[in-house]
Structure 1
């Protein structure tokens, strides 16, 4: 079991909120096709200003928004205007290019959740724009309440489609509860702890830590090591064998591809479309580094 600790980063823009990022790291780029994990809150938006991310671009990925509390207004260049609410999945596909904005609503007092990205495989990474919404019904197993928003777990399968085999689920554990879940042995898994601590296969994970378990497990045991309810997000997928370049909001396969995407965004190319209804300027791209962006993969399997 590897334990990945988070680092604090600004989410973007002049009113940037701080988030805790556990993926990617130098020691691990992906878990399955999951390539990015931001964990934020709970934060009082009256103090922090909440989330305010102007229109910005994406390529080669899908975004997965999952809230524990609060509400976020989503607008994108696919023409979607939607609200992100607790317990509801919003999945946006960028593919060749999309842009969107994210702003916490005036009804939000406490903002708390995760923002996740999924890398698209080579054959699908230039796919068209798309948006899917799903409200999973909770299932209770041995003191655990589980909401499966992607893939299959605990006898529940999400209807949301993905381009690689994936698992995504929120798991809430009662005080002192433990649950053993049957999982696909071809998957590697990550457990992001929101409130805890929680033990994954015997390893204690503190809040905001991400535990990684390699493929080969037929079951995973999660145990609440506290006397209060614990909450975590279980991610999984078959190992993503492709090396990727991640820079800013783009995923590609080489430096030139990333540079071209940046230039297209800066020049307001039709590639990324227009976010209608957002009152404000787009988020400009940062300068590219002077060094060549190199593809990164995961360390060799043990």
Structure 2
């Protein structure tokens, strides 16, 4: 029987601002828009900061989504329009719920020599799209679910470890490190889609090979047998993503999520209206020092943006600017 696991390869894109860094993006892709409510996955590094300058993303807006930052090495300073100043460190999750609107900046710290991690987004369901923005931080304790396997659950519940960060749909997010040949079952809800983003090495997900930088996705309709990971000869480190299939259609463009073209256009207009220094819908980030004070929103394409769900192949040409932040 043919496997139902889908393997998505990355595409390289610049991550916003005048000093853009290159990231490997697997979500959204032509083949899939979501894994559960996870709607965006950027994988970057290891990046020699002395050679590249590291990360310097000026203030930019978000709405109707949540951002999840997870590092393997290096540090990133986060500032947002709530007044939060926090440092993202390896093994510590920062979750920022944008809700009705927030802005933030991200800059690698002077102490960082090697920058390596993932930036993830979660789409908020319609009933939570306009919640008040908030910022949460959590340091998950490592767990050992099998011989040669260590995991840190930063969102949701797995292997008896529960993250307290608040989400608006059932979700799973975890880092899993596997020694060569190690294997482990994933006792997730059978209604979950499961994504495996490989950072280093390679794994088999339900006997399908998933190489470094690829995202393997097992659909929720794969039967009652729980997903299983087996590391290759060099071992592996992966990020697990999961959740029930997201049943809504959304418009996802630049840093905004909406249900219609008009919602996204209104968000863009509100961000640009704040260019004169006024706070407005997205607030103002204090203390950022960079080449520019904010990232302007690109022009909307010459066609109306259409909503899409997970069954569609992806955005029409021109609907997704390459430098999403």
- Sort the TM-score into its range (normalised by shorter chain): over 0.9
**Does residue 102 of the first structure (1) align with residue 114 of the second (2)?**
no
Q: What is the aligned partner in structure 1 of residue 323 from structure 2?
A: none
Check whether the contact 1:194–1:232 (CA below 8 A) recurs between aligned residues: yes
Output the CA distance in 2 between the equivalents of 1:63 and 1:23: 14
Which aligned pairs between 1:100-139 and structure 2 lie closer than 5 A? Answer: 100-139=104-143
**Pair 1:222-2:229 in alignment:** yes
**1:179-230 alpha-carbon deviations (Å, 9 max, x no partner):** 1121110111100000011111111001000001011455111111123x31
1:249 pairs with 2:255: yes
Q: Which residue of 2 aligns with 1:69?
A: 73
Partner of 1:283: 295
How many angstroms apart in 1 are the aligned matches of 2:189 and 2:283? 38
TM-score by length of 2: 0.90
Map 1:179-190; keep pairs closer than 5 Å.
179-190=184-195
Mean Cα displacement is larger for which, 266-275 or 85-94? 266-275
Tell me the distance in 2 between the aligned counterparts of 1:267 and 1:28.
33
What secondary structure, in the 3-state scheme, does the structure 2 residue paired with 1:291 have?
Answer: coil
TM-score normalised over the length of structure 1: 0.97
Question: Which blocks of at least 5 consecutive residues in structure 2 are unaligned?
Answer: 313-325
Q: Aligned partners of 1:159, 1:60: CA distance in 2, in Å?
A: 21
Q: Distance in 2 between matches of 1:43 and 1:164?
A: 33
Structure 1 residues 34-71: Cα deviation after superposition (integer angstroms, max 9, x where no partner): 00000000010000110000000001000000000000
Please tell me whether the aligned partners of residues 183 and 218 of structure 1 are also in contact (alpha carbons under 8 angstroms). Answer: no
2: distance between equivalents of 1:110 and 1:161? 30
SS in 2 for 1:267: helix
Pairs aligned (count): 299
Q: Deviations over 1:55-95 (max 9, x none)?
A: 00001000000000000000000110000000000000101
* Structure 1 contact 170–233 (Cα < 8 Å) conserved: yes
Secondary structure of the 1:116 match is: strand
In structure 1, runs of 5+ residues without a counterpart are none
Aligned to 2:13: 9
Asked if 1:25 is matched to 2:29, the reply is yes
SS, match of residue 277 in structure 1 = coil
Q: CA RMSD in A?
A: 1.0
SS in structure 1 opposite 2:86?
strand
Do the aligned partners of 1:31 and 1:236 also contact (CA within 8 Å) in 2?
yes
- 1:226 aligned counterpart, secondary structure: strand
**What is the distance in 1 between the residues matched to 2:6 and 2:282?**
37
Match of 2:316 in 1: none
